[in-house]
Amino acid sequence: MTTRIVAIGGTVNPGSTTEQALRLAAASAATGGADLQVFGGAYLAALPHYGSEAHAKGNGSELVEAVRQADGVLIAAPGYHGTISGLVKNALDFLEDLSKDERPYLDGRAVGLIATAYGDQATMSTLFAMRSIVHALRGWPTPMGATIRTYRGLFSPDGECLEDRARMQLELVGQQVARGARAFALAAAEPGA
Ligand SMILES: Cc1cc2nc3c(=O)[nH]c(=O)nc-3n(C[C@H](O)[C@H](O)[C@H](O)COP(=O)(O)O)c2cc1C
């Protein structure tokens, strides 16, 4: 049985700390051999607005299809003015295309959340906003959500996290997504499921 994990997030900045945090948690989630797909800042920046003509032409369908198949999802967003950035929210709006599925939106998926910001207040308010979104989409947020204060030097140039507090949170969120994803995949494989 293969579990499938999809990681979504980042910013338009090259070397985005949000995306680095996402990739660290995703690597932790995939340690046991899960199938992993990452949609980082560059992909999100190329998405049209949800509901636009470009969306109607099929842009964003890879993201929708990946989440459709997923057992676990990781989402990382920066706090912009105290809440989730428009870039990441627009990507999540595409999950509306799963509304008519047998498993709609984020139903039956473990969802790990990562909020980054300069200050504690925005990391927390952004995490809470993300949890509300996941609940609205019928997803199952993991018990641990990561709140990461960002600054120059949090990650080394090769992507290593240099702060124990941040690294431990990200690894734990990844592990919890892997655990939840395995449980959902097993349940789906049961006869009569
Ligand atoms: C438009 C904008 C608004 C922001 N608002 C906040 C904020 O309200 N509180 C805060 O602590 N940081 C704020 N920040 C800092 C971002 O959270 C920070 O740039 C982000 O965590 C780093 O992301 P990146 O390295 O992935 O680009 C803001 C940044 C931008 C660009």
Query: Pocket residues for ligand 1 (CB within 6 Å)?
Result: 11, 13, 16-18, 78-82, 116-119, 122, 150
Query: Atom 24 of ligand 1 has which residue's CA nearest to it?
Result: 16
Q: Domains in the chain, start-ordered, CATH in brackets?
A: 4-189 (3.40.50.360)
Query: Atom 19 of ligand 1 has which residue's CA nearest to it?
Result: 117
* DSSP-derived secondary structure letter, 154: S
In this prediction, residue 34 carries a pLDDT of 92
149: tokens are 């204060």
* Three-class HEC string of 24-75: HHHHHHCCCCCEEEEECHHHHHHCCCCCCHHHHCCCCHHHHHHHHHCCEEEE
Q: Is 193 helix (H, G, I), strand (E, B) or coil?
A: coil
Cα of 193 from ligand 1 centre, angstroms: 43
Question: Per residue of the chain (193 residues), what is the pLDDT tens digit?
Answer: 889 999 999 999 999 999 999 999 999 999 989 999 999 999 999 999 999 998 988 899 999 999 999 999 999 999 999 999 999 999 999 999 999 999 999 999 999 999 999 999 999 999 999 999 999 999 999 999 999 999 999 999 888 999 999 999 999 999 999 999 999 999 998 887 7
Q: Tokens 């949890």 sit at which residue?
A: 131
